[in-house]
Amino acid sequence: MEQVLRPIYQERASFPETLGVILVEKRGEGDPVTDTFDAILLIITTNEEIPIVTKHYTDGNGKAAMHIISEKQLKKWLLLGSKRKVVDWLFYGKVYFDRNEFVEQLRAELQEYPFFGRKMKMGLELSRLVRGYMEGKTYFEQENYMDAYHHVVKSLHHLARLAVIESGLFPEVTVWSQVKKIDPAIYKLYEELILSDEPLEKRLELLFLASEFLIHNCTADGARHMMDVMATKEIWTIQELHEHEEIRMYSIDLEVFIEFLVDKGCIEVVQSDSKNEFIFHRDYKVT
């Protein structure tokens, strides 16, 4: 497949806007990292006209996918952690073209993990963890144990990613193999949830107790990004937070996260007058 794709990536490498060309080959049958394709051709470009362009190819026997991704879109994925397989592509793919060492520098940045990026990613993972935990606990109290289980597994995954980020590493697709070395306690919790012979209700009950302790321990560091941004201004409306360039990354988890931080005493509610004398605006400031 590499031979078949060679004319394509050679042509793309000749384009002035192309920053890097990476080839990722499958490591086994049905490899999820390559989306079951025999090869992935990742092309990074400065052209932002169309953030993502995807094409599929076949030589009659094998199949390949080409993804042309703008630099801005790629960095957004890396920041939000929304396309985890891209990390694998960057780290383990074969670099065929690297303009001005762009790919090499990007790999170095991912390994070194600038502190600013780490703070934001920790905040994003904590907000997702909090939502998953709260939704899981609600379903548990309603005795909808299978739904509770689904949300708890998701929240544990965010807890695992948070532990990896806190250690200064980048969460990869195989995040649990990373966590097993970095934080065995979280790995053990996950293992007990999915492998224990205890009834599901009992497993969930024990996990909620343990999770409260773990969430409490990671709140200060996980909330630091939100606190640092909010400290730049005395009072914020919820709309201002939604519109802020960095805070809007929290997306649908923002309001749940704000209420969680209010409950933890990190953020204070401030009432301000509205047009209606019987109701107030609910604004926020750092405690």
Question: How sure is the predictor about 115, in pLDDT bands with cuts at 50, 70 and 90?
Answer: low
Phi, psi (degrees; rounded to nearest 5) at 249: -65, -25
Determine how many CB atoms are found less than 10 A away from the CB of residue 208.
16
Determine the average pLDDT of the residues in 75-95: 84
Distance of alpha carbon 20 from alpha carbon 12, whole angstroms = 9
Domains identified in the chain and CATH numbers: 2-110 (3.30.460.10), 113-218 (1.20.120.330), 223-287 (1.10.10.10)
- The Cα–Cα gap between 57 and 80 comes to 29
For the stretch 21-74, pLDDT in tens is 999 998 877 677 888 899 999 999 999 988 999 999 998 888 999 999 999 999
Closest among 221, 111, 214, 219 to 166, alpha carbons compared: 221
The predicted pLDDT at position 43 comes to 96
**pLDDT reading at 222 higher than 70:** yes
pLDDT at residue 239, rounded to an integer: 95
What span, in angstroms and rounded, lies between the C-alpha atoms of 19 and 238? 39
SS3 244: coil
What b/e readout covers 177-206, taking b as 16+ CB neighbours within 10 angstroms?
A: ebbbebbeebbebbeebeeeeeeeeebbee
Tokens of 95: 């670099």
Confidence of residue 14 (pLDDT cuts 50, 70, 90): very high
**pTM, to two decimals:** 0.75
Report CA-CA distances (Å) from 82 to 56, 110, 114, 187: 22, 15, 19, 22
CA nearest to 43, candidates 5, 78, 69: 69
The secondary structure of residue 43, as a DSSP letter, is: E
Most confident of 86-90, 176-180, 275-279: 176-180
Residue 252: in which H helix or E strand, if any?
Answer: none
Q: Percentage of the chain with pLDDT > 90?
A: 69
- Whether residue 55 contacts residue 66, with contact meaning beta carbons closer than 8 Å, is answered with yes
